[in-house]
Amino acid sequence: PGHVVGDGSSDIAELVDRVNADPRRGVGHEKVLTRLELDAQADLMLERVGYNHFSVPKEGETVYLRSTANLSTGGTATDVTDIIHPDNRDMAVRAVRAIGLDVGGVDFISPNIAESYKSIGGGICEINAAPGFRMHVAPSEGTPRDAAGPVIDMLFPPGTPARVPIAAITGTNGKTTTARMLAHITKMAGYTPGLTTTDGVYIDGQRTVEGDMTGPVSARMVLSDPQIDMAILETARGGLLRSGMGVPSVDVGAVLNVASDHLGLKGIDTLEQLAEIKRIVVEVATECAVLNADDANVLKMSAYTDAKVICYVTLNPSHTLVREHIRAGGRACALEAGVNGHMITLYDKGSHIPLMWTHLIPATLEGRALHNVQNAMVAAAMAFSLGIKLDAIRQGLRTFDTTFFQAPGRMNVFNEHPFKVLMDYGHNAHAVGMMADLAQRLDVTGRRIVVLTGPGDRRDEDLRAIADAVAGKFDHYIVRRDDSLRGRDGDEVPRIIAKALQNAGVAESAMAVIPDEQLAVDAALRMGDAGDLILVFADALTRTWKQIIKFQPHGDVAKASPRVELPSLESSEEEIPFAAMEGVIREERGLVFEREESD
């Protein structure tokens, strides 16, 4: 404990000043030893021996100012590593293990630490889960010991990863579904994933925080959770603009697409500017950059990543650049036609790896929903690049479904009415167009009905583009607005969309403007007959889904079982030789674009 030693001439206060003159002593934990204090506890200790601040102890007399031996209260430390009895050491180790700690500091009380507690007695008064190291690193007496080094080596063995693998996904559409697919694959592979999405933070499949969690704050939230061993970060444009990524680098980064959405906001007015923001995800990727080769703006991002591997994803089995990339030994994920349907295929270092048939993936509606086929391909490519085994990837994709509970607002299907209902969160022309195309591929025996809207903070031209994406593809259109007007006046959004539909040739009799979301959905459901398909673009997802599943159709009508046509794969009519590909270079990673001089 903190103390002074008398010299026969100096009083207690003078002796304390002399001890505190030691340069090793400071305030609190700023130095290896802590200053002595003449406070109420010190006065109590002095009073017990009949002393006060001005008493003069005899030469060599030890006067204690504290009753406990703590460095934080002015105590000193003597290293006894070389003389501790093995019995005492073993008992300390047993005590730490008994309470389940990896690291523990044992306060062992003994008359003589060099003798066994079995013969002279002794005991443990405390075990610290977060012990201090400074008394070992710089003891008052004895040999300094590197106590922290072995602890760090135990927690982070040399040569092993010091952090969890991180995968980041961005793009205009498909981010949430792809992130959820990848998280599900990693969970099936035995990992405990931490996931950030537009509807919350998920730890091992359980939502811990609700809300739009696609920015740097949520990324740090996931990475600070001690339970996870894999991080999957859905990364949106807004967070990148406000605060960046939230992490200095990621192991695998993917960009799905760049389409018109949020243009005219925060200084981003063109697709090229939007692409510059989204490519940050692959700029900070270290191991692999996964790029959609079917999107020209994404394809060119290969010029801006230093990742060790570039993996192209394509639905086009005759994509010239991807073919040459594969021949150069690069990594790719391609969709190939076969006798049994469409096969998702991986290529890497010359290897050809058939992964699985698309019709075996529930989220693709037996391979008809090509946008989810592409999402599954990106998720598979990212999982492969993270070192996950092929069987785990197959199992993850085979057990991932677009139910409302697994992927809310992402192509949720309800078949329990006489008609089929599709609900989706599509809120830009690109996403709306993909769902409209899917509705066309379904063999519907009745009518196709759509409930349509657009966010209020989008430009008028973006709202008109949403109308153009569905015009002529449905038998009846119900136009509404979101609950949040986002700066628009009343029914301005549905009026703009309705006008654009009329300009595109939709008859006024085939259209209704019902501004309120609940009333619009109810009207669509009441219109439904056997064999109809109702596509609902929803904003209040949970409320709308409950409205759909709790709706009671009139009459006892048998449910329809629509058939579907398997979509044909895109293909290039004529192959372009590698030499004619402008701005493309061949390197050790395969084929990449050259960086523009202005960048």
For residue range 386-440, list pLDDT tens digits in order. 999 999 999 999 999 888 887 888 889 898 899 999 999 988 898 899 899 999 9
How sure is the predictor about 80, in pLDDT bands with cuts at 50, 70 and 90?
Answer: very high
User: In degrees rounded to 5, what are phi and psi of residue 251?
Assistant: -75, -50
User: Is 168's pLDDT higher than 50?
Assistant: yes
How sure is the predictor about 365, in pLDDT bands with cuts at 50, 70 and 90?
Answer: confident
Q: Which of 209, 184, 187 is nearest to 199 (CA)?
A: 209
In this predicted model, which residue has the larger pLDDT, 562 or 124? 124
pLDDT, position 560: 45
* Residue type for position 399: T
Structure-block tokens of residue 328: 């150069």
- Which helix (H) or strand (E) segment is 254 a member of? strand 250-255
Q: Which of 570, 597, 6, 4 is nearest to 303 (CA)?
A: 597
| Percent of the chain scoring above 70 in pLDDT | 94
pLDDT, position 322: 95
pLDDT, position 562: 44
What is the three-class DSSP state of 463? helix
User: Is 150's pLDDT higher than 60?
Assistant: yes
* Residue type for position 397: L
pLDDT, position 140: 81
Compute the distance between CA of residue 144 and CA of residue 136 in angstroms, rounded to an integer.
6
Q: Which of 430, 464, 461 is nearest to 258 (CA)?
A: 430
CATH numbers and ranges of domains, the chain: 3-73 (no CATH), 86-155 (no CATH), 166-316+354-398 (3.40.1190.10), 416-558 (3.90.190.20)
3-state secondary structure 84-134: CCHHHHHHHHHHHHHCCCCCCEEEEECCCCCCCHHHHCCEEEEEECCCCCH
* Residue 159 to residues 70, 156, 230, 286, Cα–Cα distance (Å): 37, 8, 19, 17
User: Is 565's pLDDT higher than 70?
Assistant: no
Contacts of 158 (CB under 8 A, 6+ apart): none
Q: How many residues does the chain have?
A: 599
* Residue 63 to residues 76, 158, 283, 560, Cα–Cα distance (Å): 14, 47, 65, 94
Compute the distance between CA of residue 245 and CA of residue 229 in angstroms, rounded to an integer.
19
Q: Which of 14-28, 131-145, 200-214, 351-365 has the highest mean pLDDT?
A: 351-365
Going by the DSSP 8-state scheme, the letter that residue 385 receives in this structure is H
How sure is the predictor about 574, in pLDDT bands with cuts at 50, 70 and 90?
Answer: low
Q: Which of 49, 38, 33, 39 is nearest to 12 (CA)?
A: 38
pLDDT, position 576: 55
User: In degrees rounded to 5, what are phi and psi of residue 584?
Assistant: -110, 135
pLDDT, position 579: 56
pLDDT, position 408: 85
Q: What is the mean pLDDT of residues 463-470?
A: 94
Helices (H), 140-270: 148-155, 175-188, 216-223, 237-243
How sure is the predictor about 564, in pLDDT bands with cuts at 50, 70 and 90?
Answer: very low
In this predicted model, which residue has the larger pLDDT, 450 or 411? 450
Compute the distance between CA of residue 132 and CA of residue 31 in angstroms, rounded to an integer.
13
Q: What is the mean pLDDT of residues 454-474?
A: 92
Instruction: Check: CB of residue 308 under 8 Å from CB of residue 327.
Output: no
pLDDT tens for residues 490-524?
Answer: 899 999 999 999 999 999 999 999 999 999 999 99
Tokens 């020209």, residue located: 296
Tokens 């031996």, residue located: 69
pLDDT, position 580: 60
Q: Which region among 263-277, 328-342, 539-553 has the lowest average model confidence (pLDDT)?
A: 263-277
Calculate the average pLDDT of the chain. Answer: 88
Tokens 């089995």, residue located: 317
Contacts of 162 (CB under 8 A, 6+ apart): 156
pLDDT, position 361: 94
User: Is 572's pLDDT higher than 80?
Assistant: no
* 566, HSE (Cβ side, Cα atoms, 13 Å): 13
| Helices 460-470 + 429-441 axis angle, to 10 | 10
User: Is 558's pLDDT higher than 50?
Assistant: no
User: Is 188's pLDDT higher than 60?
Assistant: yes
pLDDT tens for residues 13-67?
Answer: 999 999 999 888 888 777 778 888 898 989 999 989 899 999 999 999 999 998 8
User: Is 479's pLDDT higher than 60?
Assistant: yes
How sure is the predictor about 561, in pLDDT bands with cuts at 50, 70 and 90?
Answer: very low
Q: What is the mean pLDDT of residues 93-97?
A: 95
